Amino acid sequence: MTSPLTPGLAAGRLDTETLARNFDDLHAPYDAHEARVAADRCYFCHDAPCTIACPTEIDIPLFIRQIATGQPEAAGRTIFEQNILGGICARVCPTETLCEEACVRMTAEEKPVEIGRLQRYATDSVMARQDHPFARAAETGKRIAVVGAGPAGLSCAHRLAMKGHSVDLFDAKPKPGGLNEYGIATYKATNGFAGREVDWLMQIGGITLHTGKALGTDLSLDTLTAEYDAVFLGMGLGAVNALTCDGNDREGVADAVDFIAELRQASDLTTLPIGRNVVVIGGGMTAVDAAVQAKLLGAQNVTLAYRRSRARMGASEYEQDLAASKGVTILTNVVPVAIHGNGAVREIELEYTVEDGGTLQGTGETVRLPADQIFRAIGQTLVAPQGPELERGKIKVTETGRTSMEGVWAGGDCTPGEDLTVVAVAEGRDAAEDIHAALMR
């Protein structure tokens, strides 16, 4: 069916069976035999460079040895003790630039141990059980408000609940999960895994979820600090950076995060309209996820346009190669200067750029591409709450997540640092430990 507003958009470009194949698991899970074989490749290094490279400091040689000796559930517990969202991290972590890049097999130009897939095998083994592997400590009588049910908030809430505290977990969206639920490519976390992982995590008890509650509209930071013993802010980033070129408000121009969220929540992919000629502006993971999924939905031509060189892209080399393998054209050193069309977008005009001493400059030379759908993936900014001191537009924190406000901690994308799920999990966990220490002192 074609949209009357944007004639180039249509739903059902591919049949149900093709879409199901396109959006199936990017990497098939290991079976028991495959996992043992993969684990046997580990050297179990005493200095464990892979563990050092992991933001959550999982004891990787230990959990791999546990798999090699036929103890996948013990391996899963080793992972979850450091990273309670180890299941989703096994699926979405850029392991190729973290633990696997540090694997000593890489020094011999060999293929690294597939740590991510082994982690998935171990965590899935634990989650398949009915009982939660962790228990709550005795009730402390302390109440903590956690704002944001994304990776940082969930990690913080679970660790606090384990310590015996009562947690009220607030999120602006209808479902918990944050980026894991709404912001990653569907083929990375299939069959509703993000939601099932949250349900599993909540089995710890002591956590009360409140959805549809946003800081600044439904929640006041002053009220939270008055009513709770501590507050953790992990609400991520709320505003998408604007595209400032002429015609940026034409029909068919949208935010990539909205496109990804709609796709992830769709019950029938044949109902999602997609253009014939799709252009994604940006060079990060969100841009790649949007571009690849546009192609998988049936777009004929998909171009990812980035302002700097390919080496400067935020997306890893692995993600760039994945996009290219799916038929996405990566066009670098270009910036949008105009979007043309009569109401709806028909073309995008891009100017070639050069870098001079780190400064980006236009060359005056332009190129036009046909486009009936354009997605913005040029970063997000924090809708900053009143109170905490900011640093580079984000909430300034100490190493343990303390903000400038007494009794308020923060972590995840709303604070400076790498915008990775695994980093957010580590920050939420560490803040919870510091909150517990402060409250029980």
Q: Is the pLDDT of residue 3 over 60?
A: no
Instruction: List the domain boundaries for the chain.
Output: 32-127, 143-238+382-440, 240-376
CA atoms within 13 A on the CB side of 1: 7
CATH of the domain spanning 32-127, picked from 3.30.450.40, 3.40.630.10, 1.10.3720.10, 1.10.1060.10: 1.10.1060.10
Task: Please give the pLDDT value at position 358.
Answer: 82
Query: Mean per-residue pLDDT for 359-365?
Result: 94
Count Cβ atoms below 10 Å from residue 340 Cβ, excluding itself.
15
pLDDT range class, residue 357, cuts 50, 70, 90: confident
Rg (CA), the chain: 23
Task: Report whether pLDDT(1) > 80.
Answer: no
Mean pLDDT of 269-289: 97
pLDDT, residue 6, reads 65
* CATH-assigned architecture of domain 240-376: 3-Layer(bba) Sandwich (3.50)
pLDDT surpasses 90 at 373: yes
Q: Do domains 143-238+382-440 and 240-376 have the same CATH topology?
A: yes
- Do residues 56 and 426 touch, judged by C-beta distance below 8 A? yes
The bridge status of strand 301-305 relative to strand 230-233 is unpaired
Amino acid in position 49: P
- 182-193 confidence digits (pLDDT tens): 999 999 999 999
Q: How confident is the model at residue 120 (pLDDT cuts 50, 70, 90)?
A: very high
pLDDT digits (tens, 9 = 90+) for 223-248: 999 999 999 999 999 888 989 899 99
Residue type, 116: G
User: At residue 98, does pLDDT exceed 80?
Assistant: yes
Mean pLDDT over all residues of the chain?
A: 95
Mean pLDDT of 289-297: 98
What is the architecture of the domain spanning 143-238+382-440? 3-Layer(bba) Sandwich (3.50)
pLDDT above 80: residue 272: yes
Can you tell me the distance from the alpha carbon of 224 to that of 185, in angstroms, rounded to the nearest whole number?
A: 34
**pLDDT score at 344:** 94
Position 2 pLDDT exceeds 60 = no
What was the pLDDT predicted at 375?
A: 98
- Exposure string (b/e) for 250-259, b if CB count within 10 Å is 16 or more? bbbbebbbeb
Cβ-based neighbours of 192, under 8 Å, separated by 6 or more: none
Residue whose token pair is 């709770």: 228
Residue 267: partners with Cβ closer than 8 Å, 6 or more residues away: none
